A and B are shown apart, each in its own frame.
Chain A
Amino acid sequence: MDALNWLIEPLSYGFMWRALLAAIMVGVICSVIGTYVILQGMAFFGDALAHIILPGIVLAFLLGWPLAVGALIAGVLAAVGIGALSQRGELREDTAIGIIFAGSFALGVAMLSTVDSYAVDLSHILFGDVLGASVSDLWITFGLGLLVLLTVLAFYKEFMVLAFDPTLAKVLRLPATFLRYLLLVLVAVTIVVSLQTVGVALVLAMLVTPAAAAQLLTRRLWTMMAVAAFIGAFSNVVGLYLSFYINIASGPAMVLVATGVFVLVFLFAPERGLLWRAGRDRREEKVAG
């Protein structure tokens, strides 16, 4: 009875309902896209993208536009900039990303600092403000999230080939360049959708951590996505309750729970967990000895 109360009590607040819905949706979307992010080795790129789109978001915020529009414009400009810097071969691509990444982030923070409510806004953008999610925020998250998931579904097999074996993608005459840009746009949209919940600084964890844990538990792409989505949503819900009861910031609480889940999986996953493998080695030694 107590446990039930523990679960129900926070829901008597409207903001907790909205936060819970946002947390679940973001957990699912991020984890599904995160599956491709880690399989393509795009983790650093995802983090960079989250910081790079900051000036676009701030601009949209200041002008009263939808944040997603600003983010997409900034994302495209940054991609062009990175291409221009690294194309001539004088800079490595990760160096170019690093330069644009830090520069854009600084520009975004500088722009934000012109606003009176600077400190509050900055902390919301950096670490999220899921408790402040409005009904219209939820609709935007739902709409964009649905769009992202449907796109993933539509190009499921093509994205799989591209992630597994890019040469095969070309040999099969798949539109590889188009798919690669499409995936970047999906990652950018996902990041925008997640900013309200976890913020720029922590969105990478939402993309990477549940998917990484899921990879250790599964052996097919769609099951990896499903398990990642479950871990993402579960971590966010648990994190939200923790933040309610022990009064810590909600974004970091969610990320900490997800990290904890990952550590457990890393240690105890059947076949691939650390302890499992250690146990197997010992069993083999016994057989050999």
Chain B
Amino acid sequence: MPQLFPQHAVHDAAAPTLALEHVSVRYGSTYALEDVSFTVNRGDQVAVVGPNGAGKSTLFNVITGIVKPSRGEIHIYGSGPEGHICVGYVPQRNRIDWRFPATVFDTVLMGRVGKIGLFRWPGRGDRARVQEALEQVGMAEFAHRQIGELSGGQQQRVFLARALAQEAQLLLLDEPLTGLDAPSQQAILDILAKLGREGVTMLIATHDLNQAADLFPLIMLLRRRVIAFGPPKEALTTETLLEAYGSHLHVIHAADADLLLTDTCCSGGQPPVGQIIGSGPDEATPHYEVSPPPRRTRR
């Protein structure tokens, strides 16, 4: 029986930021996650990649404590996830109702609600923290805009500011770059890099393997299990990719290089990506369109 108004957990500074031990999540008879174990240290930036349905959202949900694992344990700074309000999350933009009557300032202030506590109103300190967060992401001048009146990149920055105002130590980002143009993506990446230097730990779910390999120091390849976890060169090999993507992925031995075709899907709306593994000039990278195999959707 969870407490109605839980106490907030105290951090053990010596413990790793995030540690999962043999975590399994089962929905009915199917496993969404199976025996997942890994450790993420303070300031790490981990891109979580894998085919659709690999368990990326489930992984995020057990880390935030929304979903209880059927087996195994999750430790955030040494204790279970339930009491922590230091886990920030940046939702996919299509999950948000942008007509909601809230300004940029209001939205970022929502990140403070856990800290403020029940039956209290935001004080001067909270407002100052919100203002600071807005300045950090370069959105201060938009504070009084309604959130629907922003561009996609600006909206994403507002949600980063919300996590900053929350004083999140562990940040979960769901497809943060999807659907943004190159300058907006760069703006987000700059903010993430700055946060990393400040010791904020990040897990970034993405379906774009190229982007993950280019931009993030650590890759977690997920398909129900952790198939590989490490720097891109070690984590993304033909072997691990085949294991992760299986039938979704085709290895083609072209004349100049081995070609891996993956289907990338779906909610993000990014085109499928073809990637050259091995030698071969970049300009020659052919982009093949591979349609995803028919899937049964069930919730």
> Could you tell me which A residues sit within 8 Å of B by CB distance?
39, 154-155, 157-158, 160-161, 163-165, 167-168, 170-175, 178, 215, 218-221, 223-224
Q: Are A154 and B97 in contact (CB under 8 A)?
A: no
Shortest Cβ distance from residue B245 to the other chain A in the assembled complex, whole angstroms = 28
Q: List 26 A-B contacts (CB under 8 A).
A: A39-B97, A155-B118, A157-B122, A161-B110, A161-B113, A165-B110, A167-B95, A170-B66, A171-B65, A171-B66, A171-B87, A171-B114, A172-B85, A173-B83, A173-B85, A173-B114, A174-B113, A174-B114, A175-B5, A215-B101, A220-B101, A220-B102, A220-B103, A220-B106, A221-B102, A223-B101
Q: Which of B6, B91, B106, B113 is the one whose CB lies under 8 Å from A158?
A: B113
B 100-125 contacts with A by CB, 8 A: 100-103, 106-107, 110-111, 113-114, 116, 118-119, 121-122
- A165-B106 contact, Cβ under 8 Å, with A172-B113, A173-B6, A175-B5: no
Shortest Cβ distance from residue B156 to the other chain A in the assembled complex, whole angstroms = 14
Shortest Cβ distance from residue B97 to the other chain A in the assembled complex, whole angstroms = 7
CA distance A125 to B122 in the complex (A): 43
B236-260 interface code vs A (CB 8 A; 1 in, 0 out): 0000000000000000000000000
Q: Kindly count the residue-residue contacts between A and B in the assembled complex, taking CB atoms under 8 Å apart.
A: 82
CA distance A236 to B72 in the complex (A): 58
CB-CB under 8 A from B118, the residues of chain A are 155, 158
Q: Which of B103, B110, B111 is the one whose CB lies under 8 Å from A160?
A: B110
Q: Are B64 and A219 in contact (CB under 8 A)?
A: no
CA distance A178 to B2 in the complex (A): 11
Shortest Cβ distance from residue B252 to the other chain A in the assembled complex, whole angstroms = 40
Tell whether B14 is near chain A: CB-to-CB under 8 Å. Answer: no
Kindly list 4 other residue pairs between chains A and B, CB separation below 8 angstroms, not including A39-B101, A164-B96.
A39-B100, A160-B106, A168-B89, A173-B85
Tell whether B88 is near chain A: CB-to-CB under 8 Å. Answer: yes
Tell whether B296 is near chain A: CB-to-CB under 8 Å. Answer: no
CB-CB under 8 A from B110, the residues of chain A are 157, 160-161, 164-165, 168
CB-CB under 8 A from B58, the residues of chain A are none
Q: Are A167 and B83 in contact (CB under 8 A)?
A: no
Q: Are A172 and B4 in contact (CB under 8 A)?
A: no
Tell whether B197 is near chain A: CB-to-CB under 8 Å. Answer: no
Q: Which of A155, A157, A160, A172 is the one whose CB lies under 8 Å from B166?
A: A172
B150-188 interface code vs A (CB 8 A; 1 in, 0 out): 000000000000100010000000000000000000000
Tell whether B99 is near chain A: CB-to-CB under 8 Å. Answer: yes
CB-CB under 8 A from A154, the residues of chain B are 119
- A173-B82 contact, Cβ under 8 Å, with A165-B96, A167-B66, A167-B89: yes
The 6 closest A-B pairs by CB, nearest first: A172-B114, A219-B146, A224-B101, A170-B66, A221-B101, A157-B113
Tell whether B287 is near chain A: CB-to-CB under 8 Å. Answer: no
Q: Are B91 and A178 in contact (CB under 8 A)?
A: no
Q: Which of A164, A165, A173, A219 is the one whose CB lies under 8 Å from B8?
A: A173
Among residues of B, the one whose C-beta sits closest to the C-beta of A160 is: B110
CA distance A157 to B106 in the complex (A): 10
Shortest Cβ distance from residue B42 to the other chain A in the assembled complex, whole angstroms = 19
Shortest Cβ distance from residue A262 to the other chain B in the assembled complex, whole angstroms = 16
CB-CB under 8 A from A168, the residues of chain B are 89, 91, 110-111, 162
CB-CB under 8 A from B82, the residues of chain A are 173
CB-CB under 8 A from A161, the residues of chain B are 110, 113
Shortest Cβ distance from residue A232 to the other chain B in the assembled complex, whole angstroms = 16
- A163-B114 contact, Cβ under 8 Å, with A171-B87, A173-B8: no
B133-162 interface code vs A (CB 8 A; 1 in, 0 out): 000000000000010000000000000001
CA distance A157 to B103 in the complex (A): 14
CB-CB under 8 A from A174, the residues of chain B are 113-114
Q: Are B89 and A221 in contact (CB under 8 A)?
A: no
CA distance A159 to B38 in the complex (A): 36
Q: Which of A39, A165, A175, A223 has the most CB of B within 10 A?
A: A165
Q: Are B4 and A170 in contact (CB under 8 A)?
A: no
CA distance A153 to B126 in the complex (A): 19
Q: Are A164 and B102 in contact (CB under 8 A)?
A: yes
Q: Are B102 and A160 in contact (CB under 8 A)?
A: yes
CA distance A174 to B64 in the complex (A): 13
Shortest Cβ distance from residue B62 to the other chain A in the assembled complex, whole angstroms = 12
Q: Are A219 and B103 in contact (CB under 8 A)?
A: yes
CA distance A168 to B96 in the complex (A): 11
Shortest Cβ distance from residue B124 to the other chain A in the assembled complex, whole angstroms = 16
CA distance A171 to B66 in the complex (A): 8
Shortest Cβ distance from residue B173 to the other chain A in the assembled complex, whole angstroms = 13
Among residues of A, the one whose C-beta sits closest to the C-beta of B147 is: A219
CB-CB under 8 A from A173, the residues of chain B are 6, 8, 82-85, 114
Shortest Cβ distance from residue A149 to the other chain B in the assembled complex, whole angstroms = 15
CA distance A161 to B100 in the complex (A): 11
CB-CB under 8 A from B116, the residues of chain A are 157
